[in-house]
Amino acid sequence: MLDAIDKELLRSVADLEGIPKGAYNIRKNGKLLGREVSANIEIDAHPDQEGIMVRIAPGTINESVHIPVILSQAGLHDVVYNTFIIGEGADVTIVAGCGIHCGGSKSEGHEGIHEFRVEKNARVRYVEKHVAIGPGKGKRILNPTTRVFMAENAWAEMELTQLGGVDEAFRVNEATLSAGSSLMISERVMTEGDQTASSENRLFLEGDGSRANMVSRSVLKGTSRQDLKVNLVAKARCFGHIECDAILMDRAINKTMPALEALHSDAELTHEASIGKIADDQLMKLMSLGLDYDDAVNRIIQAFLK
């Protein structure tokens, strides 16, 4: 049921060696390839749109759902709407991701619109990896959208990565936080050649005691370009922090725009941003430990994107 390319894609987007344990839904070239549910995790076709509804029963602890998407059909542009409802008090991990294998000259793309409803006191760790491989010349396009609605005291951590191979990406992350909820987004994007990636983030802190932290790290090689916008909007007594660092190599360019908006006088919002080459003192340190220049560069970048 899984061919060699499928297996390679699954390994790179979901660290899977074949079919995962627990609940899963694997989508290949716009069609369902396999699904498994568990006593606490239901997966159904989305009632209104192409995609799935994942319902996690309240109180579900330590379970995981894998929902990888793989694409290897030239010319296919797959659009999918997935909704996740994480019931009260649940504590789960969701592993998503999309792997494209492009073998020809036609473009291939995937647009995943993911909506999360994290109910009261629920906790979710969401891991999303995007990769593209294959010898084809066609453009590989990945446009993920993530919308998060966090109820009181909900907690979410989102690790979003795109580490190479993707020619065009338009990423959108939006979140609304109720009282006492906490959201951490860490985004890692590496572009090379003439790839472009843009990431737009809008986080609304609406409840007292809510916390949002967005950490973005980008590496840009070749003549690639990345644009990052992060808007933190505070409407309550809350904490928000943005940290974005971009490492430029070769002739790549970057635009980073962190923006803070306090619409409440007890909001505490901070940001740090940097764009630049790898610092010389970091390179010197690693070379003084015996690495060549190129190895030193690679080690610094690997650790930066980890």
Partner 1 sequence: MLELKDLTFTAPEDDGAPARTIIDHVSYTFEKGLFYAVTGPNGSGKTTLAKLVMGILPAESGKILLDGTDITEFSISERSRAGIAYGFQNSARFKGTTFRDLLSIAAGTDDEEELVRIIARVGICSLDFLDKPVDAKLSGGEIKKIELATVIARNPRVAIYDEPDTGIDLWTIEPMVDLLKREQESFGTTTIVVSHNKTFLEAADRLLLIKGGKIAYEGKLPEADSLLADLSACNYTTICEGEDNAGCYR
Q: Nearest 5°: phi and psi at 275?
A: -135, 135
- The least CB distance from residue 46 to partner 1, in Å, is 37
Q: Percent helix, strand, coil in the chain (nearest 5)?
A: 10, 55, 30
Element (H, E) at 22: none
Helix (H) or strand (E) holding 261: strand 253-262
Pick out residues in 10-49 that bind partner 1 (CB under 8 A). Answer: none
Q: How far is the CB of 243 from partner 1 (least distance, A)?
A: 9
- Output 159 or 245, the one with its CB closest to partner 1: 245
Please, what sign has the CA dihedral across residues 49, 133, 294, 195? negative
Assess 292 for contact with partner 1 (CB under 8 A).
yes
Q: Does 299 bind partner 1 (CB under 8 A)?
A: yes
* Least CB distance to partner 1 at residue 220 (A): 15
Give the integer Cα–Cα distance in Å for 245 and 94. 26
Note the Cα 165 to chain centre separation in Å.
Answer: 15
Task: In angstroms, give the least distance from the CB of 157 to partner 1.
Answer: 17
Q: Closer to partner 1 at the Cβ: 19 or 305?
A: 305
Nearer to partner 1, 94 or 296 (CB): 296
Gyration radius from the chain CA atoms? 20
- If one asks whether residue 284 binds partner 1 (CB under 8 A), the answer comes out as yes
Q: Is residue 300 a contact residue for partner 1 (CB under 8 A)?
A: yes
Rule CB under 8 A: which of 48-107 touch partner 1?
none
By the rule CB under 8 A, 291 interacts with partner 1: yes
Two tokens, residue 46: 């989305």
**Contact letters for partner 1, residues 200-229 (x by CB under 8 A):** -----------------x------------
φ/ψ of 144, rounded to 5, equals -85, 140
207-240 burial, b at 16+ Cβ within 10 Å, e below that, comes to: bebbbbbbbbbbbbbeebbbbbbbbbbbbbbbbb
The yes or no reply on residue 159 touching partner 1 (CB under 8 A) is: no
Tell me the residue type at 275: I
Q: Tell me the window of 117-125, 133-141, 198-206, 285-293 that interacts with partner 1 (CB under 8 A).
A: 285-293
Stretch that binds partner 1, among 86-94, 161-169, 194-202, 280-288 (CB under 8 A): 280-288
Report if residue 265 touches partner 1, rule: CB under 8 A.
no
Please state, as a whole number, how many other Cβ atoms lie within 10 Å of the Cβ of residue 44.
12
Q: Closest by alpha carbon to 53, among 23, 77, 28?
A: 23
Choosing from 44, 250, 287, 298, the residue that interacts with partner 1 (CB under 8 A) is 287
288 is a contact residue toward partner 1 (CB under 8 A): yes
For position 263 contacting partner 1 by CB under 8 A, the verdict is no
Q: Which two tokens stand for residue 195?
A: 């790839």
Count CB-CB contacts under 10 A for residue 108. 27
* Minimum CB–partner distance for residue 17 and partner 1 (Å): 22
Per rule CB under 8 A, is residue 186 in the interface with partner 1? no
Residues in 239-258 that interact with partner 1 by CB under 8 A: 245
Interface contacts to partner 1, rule CB under 8 A? 217, 245, 279, 281-282, 284-293, 299-300, 303-306
